Each structure stands twice: as structure tokens, then as C-alpha cells.
Homo-oligomer: A and B are copies of this chain.
Amino acid sequence: MKFIIAVIKPFKLDEVREALSGIGVAGMTVTEVKGFGRQKGQTEIYRGAEYSTNMLPKVKLEIATTDAIAPQVVETIQQVASTEAIGDGKIFVLDLASATRIRTGETGDTAL
């Protein structure tokens, strides 16, 4: 199994979720994060104090999938979340050693 971590622009969340459920992704976990990368933030000014922050609001998705559909998940996210503008985000894939559904105690692929 794979554990996929994707950092995307917040306004793409709904689209990505819909696309993923289209290819059979049953669940995911979503976190509000701040991203730091090439994309530069707007300059904010508070009474003359300028903050030019590179910390931008992003959304992080965590999705556990079977090995089989993992590549498709990555591809779908990449395509749907891309606006071709800097700051679109990243997708990271890690190996997932085991998964358990808390409700039933099932493990492995059926737990996802």
C-alpha cells in the first residue's frame, strides 16, 4: 500500500476530491497547512510595518491507497490540481506498511 501526501492550493480541494472519488478513492484526511516554496506571498502592511511572508495557505491531503491505484491517484491529483502557476504544490508517495480500520479492526487493503 501507499501513503500519498499531496499539498495543493486550497481552492482546488473540492475539485480534487470529486475527481478522486470518481476513480474510487473512498477516503482521505485533510489538513490546513502553510506552505513555503518558490511562490512568494503578497506583501501585507500593518501601519507601516511590512511583512512579506512566503508562508502561504495550502491544504494537505493524506490518502492511503492500494499499490494498484496509487499511480492513478497521483496522476489525477496532478492534473486536477494544476493551474500551471507557481505554488500549485507537490505530491509525495510513501510506502505504507499496514493499515487498520478502527471500527472493525480489519487490516490491509480492505481497511482503506
Chain A interface (Cβ within 8 Å of chain B)?
2-3, 5-8, 17, 26-38, 55, 58, 60, 62, 64, 74, 77-78, 81-105, 111-112
Do B35 and A29 touch (CB < 8 A)? yes
Do B17 and A27 touch (CB < 8 A)? no
- Determine the main DSSP class of A at the interface with B: strand
Q: Are A92 and B78 also in contact (CB < 8 A) when A30-B36, A37-B27, A58-B29 are?
A: no
The docked-state distance in angstroms from the alpha carbon of A17 to that of B26 is: 28
Total identical chains? 3
Q: Looking at the complex, which one of B27, B60, B92, B112 makes contact with A99 (CB distance below 8 Å)?
A: B92
Q: Looking at the complex, which one of B55, B81, B88, B112 makes contact with A30 (CB distance below 8 Å)?
A: B55
Name the residue in A62, A104, A111 with the highest tally of chain B Cβ atoms < 10 Å from its Cβ.
A62
Q: List the 4 shortest-distance A-B pairs measured between CB atoms, nearest first.
A: A27-B37, A88-B103, A88-B102, A91-B100
